[in-house]
Structure formats: structure tokens, C-alpha cells
Amino acid sequence: MNAADWEMLEAIRKVLIGIQGVRTVRLIRTKESVEVPLSRLVAALLEPTETEAGTWPEVPVGAYHLLHWRVSVLDRAMPGTRAFESLVSVAEACRDGILASSLLGGQAEDGPPSARGGDLAPDVGATRIGPIRLAEVIAGQPIALVFHGASGYWAESMTGAATLDDEMLFSSGPHIVTVGSPVRRVKDQMFNGLVGGLVLDLGDGPRPIEQKGILSASTATGLALLEAAIESFIDGHAYTLTTPNGTDYPNCRLERFERLGPPQAGTRWHQTYRAIYQQLAR
């Protein structure tokens, strides 16, 4: 837990305060025991549970920090009563309110799926939330409806932008460019009676360059247009590829553009991809 995590929790707490029917909201530490006076029910308790670091599976650059938390909505209500139905409505409003404010005032950003699995949705959203469940009923204690969630941000910059022919096609998300080894073309010629062989130097050959990354756009249509713009460069012509660290690789021909799985939607739309180039001449 760091200062940014507590700012995230405070942003969630402010959302809960604005939910109709909630009388009090408390931000508590992990596994902290708390007593809520009867006069303050319905109460919402916000508790951090754990943190997780991660990167996009296919593009391991940057550092995404995911804060997991839990919200408990408490009241003196028994299942099957109108009071319990009202408690369920309040808990649903709390869940929907947080999801509607998923960016949490700019504190949260989309990121890779959690490596711990679970039932939080959406997988890559700035804020992901699970279903509402009834907590274990303890005699003499308020009824608690609980839901888990997670909110994340990029703790370290993902990477710079790659460009193709000075077009900012890869300015969203992280990108990695892997440059293959230079190739020298030679031909071995053998002759009868010749000890050894004759080697003919045919000059430099093309070398492969692979690029992986995440394309992001605000809408599915915007993402499709971005992909189409990249595919338009598969035309047999050579262009200059500029890597995220600023290195230029001229005379690159785009051979293939592959989508690595279906697009994923959080607050934006994201597509993992692979692009294969041939650098025809250095």
C-alpha cells in the first residue's frame, strides 16, 4: 500500500458517500474489526485486501499496479424481508456507482488482466468489480452484502511510441520491437580438383523485425479504423520504422499484421497484435 493506493480508496469512498440510502462510509485497514452504531446503518465499509503488479502478457514492459479491495454494505435486515430487499438495492447502487466512476477522478487506468483470475469484470478495465454476495451471518451482528473489486494504474511508463513512415499508428499502449540479426548472403561454389571451395559474396540480405504491442482506441470503430490504417502499409513498399527508443530502421517492408486474440474492452478498447517486417537494406 502506498500514497497512490490510499488516494484511490479515498476516491471510491467519495463515490459511496453519494449513494442514496448509505448513512455512513468508513475506510478501514485490512481485516480491521469495526463496530457500527445502529443509528448509522445502512453503513458501507471499504477495505483494501491486497496489491498486484503486472504487465500485458504478450508485451512485458512497464509496471501496472492493481489494488484489490472489498466493500461491505451492512444493515439489521433478515433475508426474505422488505428491509433486506432494500439493503440489496443499496448494495447494487454502490456497485453500479463505482463501476460508473471507473476512472475514479483520473486515479485509475486500464491495464492487463489480473493474473489471479477470479470473477471481476471487465478483465482490463481501470476498475473491475465482482458480484454481490451475502456474507456469513453471525448472530447479533448486522447482515453484510459484500462485493470485491480492483482498481489499477501504471506505476511505471509503459514505453514510448513506435512510428511507421512518421505515422503515429502505434502511439497508444506499450510496444516492443525485436530486431533480428543481419544476414550476409553467400554462395559456395565447388570445382573438380579444387581444394576447399569458392565463396561468392552476394551482399547483405533482408533481416526480420518483429513488433508486439497493444493498440487502444476509445471505441470499437476507432480501433477497427486504426487496424485498417496499419494494414494499408502491407503494400510491398518499404518504409522507415522508428522504435520506441527512437532508433530508425529504414527500408522496412511490412509483411504481416496479426491480431493476438479478440479485442478487450475496459474504459477503452484494446487489441494485442504482432507485426512482422523485413528490412530489405541497412
245-268 confidence digits (pLDDT tens) = 888 999 999 999 999 999 999 999
Please give the pLDDT value at position 33: 81
36-76 confidence digits (pLDDT tens) = 888 888 999 999 999 999 999 888 888 999 999 999 999 98
Taking residues 275-281, report their average pLDDT. Answer: 92
Taking residues 19-33, report their average pLDDT. Answer: 89
Q: Give Cα separations from 240 to 62, 251, 279, 282 (angstroms).
A: 25, 6, 9, 11
Please give the pLDDT value at position 25: 94
Strands 43-56 and 248-259: unpaired
102-114 confidence digits (pLDDT tens) = 999 999 999 999 9
Provide the percentage of residues in the chain whose pLDDT is more than 70.
94
Q: How far apart are CA 191 and CA 196, in angstroms?
A: 9
- State the average pLDDT for the chain: 89
Q: How far apart are CA 180 and CA 201, in angstroms?
A: 21
Decide if pLDDT at 203 tops 70: no
Taking residues 133-156, report their average pLDDT. Answer: 90
Taking residues 115-120, report their average pLDDT. Answer: 87
Decide if pLDDT at 183 tops 90: no
Q: Span 3-156: which CATH code?
A: 3.30.2000.10
Angle, CA of 218, 115 and 105, to the nearest 5°: 40
Taking residues 153-157, report their average pLDDT. Answer: 87
H helices within the chain, ranges in order?
3-17, 82-100, 220-231
Confidence band, pLDDT 50/70/90 cuts, at residue 202: low
Please give the pLDDT value at position 224: 96
CATH 2.40.30.200, applies to 162-279:
yes
Decide if pLDDT at 196 tops 80: no
Please, are residues 152 and 109 in contact by the beta-carbon 8 Å criterion?
A: yes
- Return the domain boundaries, the chain: 3-156, 162-279
